[in-house]
Amino acid sequence: MKTSLTGIKPTGTPHIGNYLGAIKPALELAESYRSLYFIADYHAFTSNHDPKSMRSDVYDVAATWLACGLDPARTILYRQSHIPEVFELTWIFDCLLAAGQLERGHAYKDAIAHGESPNAGIFNYPALMAADIVLFDCNIVPVGKDQKQHIELARDVATRLNHLFGEGTVVVPEIKYEESLLVPGVDGRKMSKSYNNYIPVFASAKELRSGVMKIVTGSEGLADPKEAEGTTVFQLYCAIATPAQANEMAVKLKKGGYGWGHAKQDLYEALEAELGPSREKYAALRADEKALDRILEDGAVRAREISLKTIDRVRRAIGLR
Ligand code: TRP
């Protein structure tokens, strides 16, 4: 059985963009792969130095994935910070990567281009991510296109390690890009925490509805025929509804007599039908941090059965054993 692995950076309450773009596809993959999904808390530490939000963001993410259907008996769910071998392999990779490769990293390069002085964690971010991946004999990494450079660097450094110290020392990961599902936020730009245009996955029904009603639309009158394609309401509806339902909405808009308010109501109902049933589950999971800790600790024990073997092979190969 092949292994699928992905990291989730805890940066605030997960939103519908995360749900449709990352959580749902990763949970579908977990059906046919051995899956390891982890909370990349030390990646978040490159930018979050607030202990309070760090603590709660990690629980928000864990409870969200569990409420959305992650089965911890089947998927190994853990925190990156619980796996000491990750940091050892990061150092080994740091010594195999050219500094120039890390200098070309998007996040680091952008920060420099904006005249910021990024911390060395931003610089080393891709090495840490490569260690996350390679440590677990992972075959595929389901990620969005924005992570392409990072995965390529992981493949590169894994290949180099094998080349220098023995073929087969580590597994070179493949990449699996998610169909870059465009999930717009209420203002039409990509749904993102930084644009503050997002709707949380487990907002109350009332908040969900008011979030949907805030979506910016055209100003055609009720009777006017409307073009669905390219509008935020319709894009979001496509991401949640079946193709037949989406087609039906496009036809109704085109015909006229069906307003943007109606379309938003239909979008709200589709979101509510999908997320509403898990809302209470989320609240119960999120309220019991000790139970979440137990799930994450159990995941770390199982994850380390793999990581300890890999790091042992690597240590021997490089002459540190
Ligand atoms: N960098 C990823 C992001 O920002 C998170 C991440 C960390 C990750 N380690 C990973 C993703 C390993 C895939 C595999 O979303």
Per residue in 65-106, pLDDT (tens digit) is 999 999 999 999 999 999 999 999 999 999 999 999 999 999
Q: Is the pLDDT of residue 128 over 90?
A: yes
Which helix (H) or strand (E) element contains residue 26? helix 24-29
pTM for the model: 0.93
Report helix, strand or coil for 140.
strand
Q: Distance, CA 34 to ligand 1 centroid (Å)?
A: 18
Average pLDDT over residues 251-278: 97
- The pLDDT, as a whole number, for residue 189 is 95
Counting ligand 1 atoms within 8 A of each CB, the residue from 132, 174, 175 with the most, and so the one to mutate, is 132
- The pLDDT, as a whole number, for residue 223 is 95
Backbone angles phi, psi at 83, to 5 degrees: -115, 90
Q: Distance, CA 114 to ligand 1 centroid (Å)?
A: 23
Alpha-carbon span 312 to 307, nearest angstrom: 8
CATH of the structural domain 202-282, one choice from 2.60.40.10, 1.10.3470.10, 1.10.240.10, 3.40.50.300? 1.10.240.10
7 in contact with ligand 1, CB cutoff 6 A = yes
Average pLDDT over residues 113-123: 97
Q: Distance, CA 43 to ligand 1 centroid (Å)?
A: 8
- The pLDDT, as a whole number, for residue 182 is 79
Q: Is the pLDDT of residue 62 over 70?
A: yes
Q: Which atom of ligand 1 is nearest to the CA of 150?
A: 1
- pLDDT above 70 as % of the chain: 99
- The pLDDT, as a whole number, for residue 179 is 66
- pLDDT tens across 214-236, in order? 999 999 999 999 999 999 999 99
Strands 76-79 and 140-143: unpaired
Residue 128 is classified by DSSP as H
Number of other CB atoms surrounding residue 267 within 10 Å = 25
212 in contact with ligand 1, CB cutoff 6 A = no
- The pLDDT, as a whole number, for residue 14 is 94
Alpha-carbon span 225 to 209, nearest angstrom: 24
Q: Distance, CA 242 to ligand 1 centroid (Å)?
A: 29
Edge-first strand order for the sheet with 76-79 is 76-79, 34-39, 3-8, 140-143, 174-177
Q: Distance, CA 147 to ligand 1 centroid (Å)?
A: 7
Q: Which atom of ligand 1 is nearest to the CA of 125?
A: 1
For the chain, where do the domains classified as CATH 3.40.50.620 start and end? Answer: 3-183+289-318
Alpha-carbon span 57 to 240, nearest angstrom: 25
- pLDDT tens across 45-61, in order? 999 999 999 999 999 99
- pLDDT tens across 274-287, in order? 999 999 999 999 99
Counting ligand 1 atoms within 8 A of each CB, the residue from 43, 136, 194 with the most, and so the one to mutate, is 43
For the chain, where do the domains classified as CATH 1.10.240.10 start and end? Answer: 202-282
153 in contact with ligand 1, CB cutoff 6 A = no
Q: Whose CA is nearest to atom 8 of ligand 1?
A: 7
* Mean pLDDT, the chain, whole residue set: 96
18 contacts 68 by C-beta, under 8 angstroms: no
- pLDDT tens across 133-186, in order? 999 999 999 888 889 999 999 999 999 999 999 999 999 999 887 766 779 999
- The pLDDT, as a whole number, for residue 176 is 86
Strand partners, 174: 140
Q: Whose CA is nearest to atom 7 of ligand 1?
A: 7
Degrees, nearest 5: CA angle 98-47-99: 5
Domain 3-183+289-318 has CATH 3.40.50.620: yes
